[in-house]
Structure 1
Amino acid sequence: MQTTPYPRTFSHIGISVPDLNAAVDFYTQVLGWYLIMPPTTIEEDDSPVGVMCTDVFGAGWKKFDIAHLSTGDRIGVELFQFNNQQNPEDNFEYWKTGVFHFCVQDPNLEELAEKIEQAGGKRRMKEPRYYYPGEKPYRMIYMEDPFGNILEIYSHSYELTYASGAYQ
């Protein structure tokens, strides 16, 4: 009998955006993610997917648009555009429960940060920060996509960054 759970793999994340087509363009052109299902409208009806969405959202959601993408390491990304979509004034309320960012990895994070800015995103930090200054090139920076979603960029893998005790 197994008493310690085995580590589950990450399947996908859902991200709400105000303009699905613009988001598909951004994530495929800037981050290089694969489009695996183009933008599709899902309606509240008696179809299997309509019933499933009512189970998730409750009655009255009417319709939404969705696209499915995949990262280079096969993590799924669902982009949603809901009818009643609202842009918060500040999408960086990190002290509140919930997901406040997602992270991508690129060895040249400075170049990716520049591409994100050129595509309408913005920096949350002026410059990348080094985890081990003068010792290892591991660095990170917080950004926003053009839709206000917070994303972080790591130069190296999560395991490499933290295996040496990045906060010690």
Structure 2
Amino acid sequence: MSESAYPRGLAHVGLTVPDLDEAIDWYCDVLGFSHVKGPDEITADEGYGGRQAANLLGEFETMRFAHLATGNQIGIELFEFTSTGAHSEPDPTRAGLFHLCVIDPDVEGLAARIDEHGGDHYSEVWEIFEDDDEYTLTYCKDPYGNLLEIYSHSHERIYSNRDA
């Protein structure tokens, strides 16, 4: 592994959804992400893309996918497989990805918008640091069961301005 004088960037996060077209609309309309590419469809083991996808993702018949981008150029890659079933409840105690965090200075407003558009704002709005109402957060679910955290400020701004 090479040494780096800077942190590596994050290119994208992949999410599986049961209805790709609906999810593209939801993430763009509700969270304000940009639709970059797709939907595209791949059949496993068919052509270069199908062989590549089967090697990377394992067994599947066909899949559709699309690329979105956040305001700070982090990609969201949405996948729909012919075998995509209903969502399971996220379990933060299990190893692996369990939420996305989006930035919005109006945490309560975005949480209400998520609620109004088929998601679920299920937690309270919290001060990230006790007795400091400038920095807030809350948790929601998208309509597909994926956990969404909403921060009032960027991660760097929140933690670089605090004493260790």
TM, length-normalised to structure 2: 0.90
Q: For each residue in 1:72-109, what CA deviation from the matched residue of structure 2 results, as whole angstroms up to 9, or x when unmatched?
A: 11111100011111224422x11111001010000011
TM-superposed deviation, 1:46:
3.5
CA distance in 1: counterparts of 2:36 and 2:4, whole angstroms: 35
Structure 2: segments with no counterpart, 5+ residues: none
Query: What residue in structure 1 maps to residue 125 of structure 2?
Result: 128
> One-letter code of the match for 1:96?
R
TM-superposed deviation, 1:155:
0.2
Query: What residue in structure 1 maps to residue 148 of structure 2?
Result: 151
> One-letter code of the match for 1:152?
E
CA distance in 1: counterparts of 2:50 and 2:4, whole angstroms: 37
Query: What residue in structure 1 maps to residue 111 of structure 2?
Result: 113
> One-letter code of the match for 2:115?
E
Q: 1:62-77 counterparts in 2 under 5 A?
A: 62-77=61-76
Where in structure 1 do 4 or more consecutive aligned residues deviate above 4 Å? 2-5
Deviates more, 1:141-150 or 1:33-42: 33-42
> One-letter code of the match for 1:56?
L
TM-superposed deviation, 1:132:
3.0
TM-superposed deviation, 1:5:
5.9
Query: What residue in structure 1 maps to residue 101 of structure 2?
Result: 103
Is the Cα–Cα contact under 8 Å of residues 16 and 79 in structure 2 kept in the other structure? yes
Larger % of strand: which? 2
1:97–1:133 Cα change, 3 Å: closer
CA distance in 1: counterparts of 2:6 and 2:64, whole angstroms: 35
1:123–1:50 Cα change, 3 Å: same
RMSD: 1.8
TM-superposed deviation, 1:157:
1.2
Query: What residue in structure 2 maps to residue 26 of structure 1?
Result: 26
Aligned residues: 162
Is the Cα–Cα contact under 8 Å of residues 61 and 81 in structure 2 kept in the other structure? no
Q: For each residue in 1:26-77, what CA deviation from the matched residue of structure 2 results, as whole angstroms up to 9, or x when unmatched?
A: 101011111111322111233121111011123x411011111111111111
* Equivalent of 2:139 in 134, 142, 156: 142
> One-letter code of the match for 2:94?
K
TM, length-normalised to structure 1: 0.88
